[in-house]
Amino acid sequence: MVRFDTVAKRFGDTVVLDNLTFDVAPGEFVTLIGPSGSGKTTILRLLMTLERVTDGAVYVAGQPLSHMRKGDNLVPASEKHLRAARKRIGMVFQQFNLFPNMNVLRNLTEAPVRTLGKSRAEAEERARELLDMVGLAEKAEAHPTQLSGGQQQRVAIARALAMDPKVLLLDEVTSALDPELVSGVLRLLEELVRTTDITFLCVTHEMQFARDVSDRVMVLDGGRIIEDGEPEKIFTEPDNERTREFLHAVLDRP
Amino acid sequence: MTVDWSWHAVAEAFPLLLRGLVVTLEITVLAALLSYVLGLVFAVIRMSRIPVLSQLTFLFIEAVRSTPLLVQVFMFYYVLQSQTGILLSAFLSGVIVIGVHYACYTSEVYRAGIEAVPKGQWEAATALNLPRGRVWTSVILPQAVPRVLPALGNYTIAMFKETPLLLGIGVLEMLNRAKEYGAETFRVLEAYTLAGVFFLVISYIASVMVRRLESRVGTL
């Protein structure tokens, strides 16, 4: 479903991703872990087309994302191509990024109406279903600023789902939340994983969550994948010394 | 030295100046509207990084900001007319020149307001695949514009105070009326004082209103 083919990303002289190659199968839940600055979030941002690759190519559902085919060559993607490619992808951000100038319902209907061309009634019906699913049906008319962080993030998840993504990117979605609000969001995500066939790429520091829901965990360090495998294996007997150090550092925190 | 002040002259000049004030306010309102719209267009063009057009807009803004308004008024009214034969009324020329001049300032205001919208808003809009134009109209501008209203208000007051420059091309605005009355009656003291008082009162009331707007926007 997602394929990185020798992808490099550099900002000036700084190498963020170093010839990265991996595949993610449809419906898979892949968690990216690793120290800060290891390139996890950049992988998600490349997939969301918020950044462009420096080298290599990213494919989603077999289609090149950052490039388009022209004869036998790949050329940088046009805005039109990017818009078509983004249809399959959704993203949930650390800072929620709800639109503060719209109420909750409008946050969920704006893109389906403007991008997918749904009728407002149709979009609102779907939005209310999604709000019901995330447990915020009664907040449809509320303003994002009136919601707690956890509620805002659940709205943001519903907003992403309203676009029916095939791939959903979760960028440290609980990192900005007060501790007591984290579990509500994680439970919602677990339920999504169980009940949908969406492919997930998740960057998180919630190691227990990663262990419980992931089909696969990739450990990044310095822009490279240093370990890639089943969560049980990685969390209990990692092969790589750096993985061991990293897990030791994050898990042994008092 | 005694001040020769005549209330009679004040009473006589009053209706004349009031007629001038109407013209002054008309110019202010029309020029302000032009500067609001054009300034926004300039800001969006510059920030969208449209090749060539963005650079041209930048150069135009710099040129306008680096030359005196009165020079622009003369250039537009006299030079343009003599070189191209396009004949616009002094009133309309004044509105256009002041409006365009201040658009170059309001564009900076809009730019600051737009840049103050968090990057995450752009990213969320991109992630939702909203069309480019929609990102501006649904997400960015509704957040940016309320923040810039006080600054636009201040520039509107500035435009109001610049209108007497149009005396240079014969627009019968308030100062011109005062000058006219002074020349006819030699009561320059009363005529110009009255004009000054009109400017003072209106500018003051307007700036109080802008300050109240500022405190309301601050709570958004």
pLDDT digits (tens, 9 = 90+) for B1-60: 678 888 999 999 999 999 999 999 999 999 999 999 999 999 999 988 888 999 999 999
pTM for this predicted structure: 0.85
**Mean pLDDT of the B205-219 span:** 86
Residues of A with CB under 8 A from a CB of B: 48-50, 79, 83, 86-87, 89-91, 93, 95, 97-102, 110-111, 114-115, 156, 159-160, 163
State the nearest Cα–Cα gap between B146 and chain A, in angstroms: 11
What pLDDT score was predicted for residue A74? Answer: 72
Amino acid identity for residue B184 in this structure: E
Nearest by CB to B131, from A48, A93, A114: name it.
Answer: A114
Q: Which two tokens stand for residue B105?
A: 């300032």
Q: Which two tokens stand for residue A218?
A: 């990739």
Is the pLDDT confidence value at B176 over 80? yes
End-to-end CA separation in angstroms for chain B? 55
Mark yes or no for CB contact B128/A101 under 8 Å. no
Is the pLDDT confidence value at B219 over 70? no
A119's torsion region: left (phi>0), alpha (psi -120 to 50) or beta?
beta
> Counting runs of H as helices and runs of E as strands, what totals does chain A give?
9, 12
Amino acid identity for residue A101 in this structure: N
- What does DSSP assign to residue B79? I
Nearest by CB to B127, from A79, A91, A114: name it.
Answer: A91
Give whole-number Cα distances, B59 to B32, B53, B98, B105, in Å: 22, 10, 18, 13
Q: Helices A120-133 and A104-114: crossing angle, nearest 10°?
A: 130
- As a whole number, the mean pLDDT across chain B is 93
The domains of chain A are located at 98-164
Largest distance between two CA atoms of chain A: 57
Q: What is the CA radius of gyration of chain A?
A: 19
What pLDDT score was predicted for residue B82? Answer: 87
Residues of B with CB under 8 A from a CB of A: 118, 120-121, 123-132, 134, 138-139, 142-143
Mark yes or no for CB contact B130/A99 under 8 Å. no
Rounded to whole angstroms, the Cα distance separating A63 from A89 reads: 12
Mark yes or no for CB contact B130/A110 under 8 Å. yes
**Residue of chain B whose alpha carbon sits nearest to that of A94:** B120
The H or E element containing residue A19 is strand A14-24
What pLDDT score was predicted for residue B175? Answer: 94
Per residue in B144-156, pLDDT tens? 999 999 999 999 9
Q: What is the DSSP string of B130-165?
A: --HHHIIIIIIHHHHHHHHHHHHHHHHHHHHHHGGG
Rounded to whole angstroms, the Cα distance separating A182 from A203 reads: 15
Sheet containing A2-11, strands listed edge to edge, beginning at the edge strand earlier in sequence: A14-24, A2-11, A55-60, A63-64
Residue B194 banded pLDDT, cuts 50, 70, 90: very high
Helix, strand, or coil (residue B89):
coil
Sign of the alpha-carbon dihedral angle for B34, B40, B44, B46: positive
**Mean pLDDT of the B123-146 span:** 94
Rounded to whole angstroms, the Cα distance separating B90 from B100 reads: 15
State the nearest Cα–Cα gap between B156 and chain A, in angstroms: 26
Mark yes or no for CB contact A99/B123 under 8 Å. no
Mark yes or no for CB contact B120/A93 under 8 Å. yes
Please say whether the beta carbons of B39 and B109 come within 8 A: yes
Q: What is the DSSP string of B201-217?
A: HHHHHHHHHHHHHHHHH
- Report the percent of chain B where pLDDT is more than 90: 85
Amino acid identity for residue B112 in this structure: A
Domain B7-218 superfamily per CATH: MetI-like (1.10.3720.10)
The tens place of each residue's pLDDT in chain A, 254 residues long, gives 999 999 999 998 899 999 999 999 999 999 999 998 899 999 999 999 999 899 888 999 988 887 777 777 777 778 888 888 899 999 999 999 999 999 999 999 999 999 999 999 999 999 999 999 999 999 999 999 999 999 999 999 999 999 999 999 999 999 999 988 999 999 999 999 999 999 999 999 999 999 999 999 999 999 999 999 999 999 998 999 999 989 988 887 54
Q: What is the dihedral of CA A129, A135, A138, A140, to 10 degrees?
A: -60
Residues of A with Cβ-Cβ distance to B134 under 8 angstroms: 110, 114-115
Residues of B with Cβ-Cβ distance to A91 under 8 angstroms: 123, 127
Which residue matches tokens 């109407």? B22
Rounded to whole angstroms, the Cα distance separating B175 from B172 reads: 8
What pLDDT score was predicted for residue A253? Answer: 55
The domains of chain B are located at 7-218
Mark yes or no for CB contact B121/A97 under 8 Å. yes
Mark yes or no for CB contact B138/A99 under 8 Å. yes
What pLDDT score was predicted for residue B218? Answer: 65
Rounded to whole angstroms, the Cα distance separating A27 from A201 reads: 10
Sheet containing A89-92, strands listed edge to edge, beginning at the edge strand earlier in sequence: A89-92, A167-171, A199-203, A29-33, A216-221, A224-229
What pLDDT score was predicted for residue B84? Answer: 86
Bridge partners (DSSP) listed for residue A5: A57
**Residue of chain B whose alpha carbon sits nearest to that of A85:** B129
Find the length of chain A.
Answer: 254
Mark yes or no for CB contact A115/B131 under 8 Å. yes
Rounded to whole angstroms, the Cα distance separating A213 from A190 reads: 7
Tell me how crowded residue B116 is: count the other CB atoms within 10 A of its CB: 11
Burial group, residue B166, by CB count within 10 angstroms (0-12, 13-18, 19+)? buried
What pLDDT score was predicted for residue A77? Answer: 77
Residues of B with Cβ-Cβ distance to A100 under 8 angstroms: 143
Mark yes or no for CB contact A90/B126 under 8 Å. no
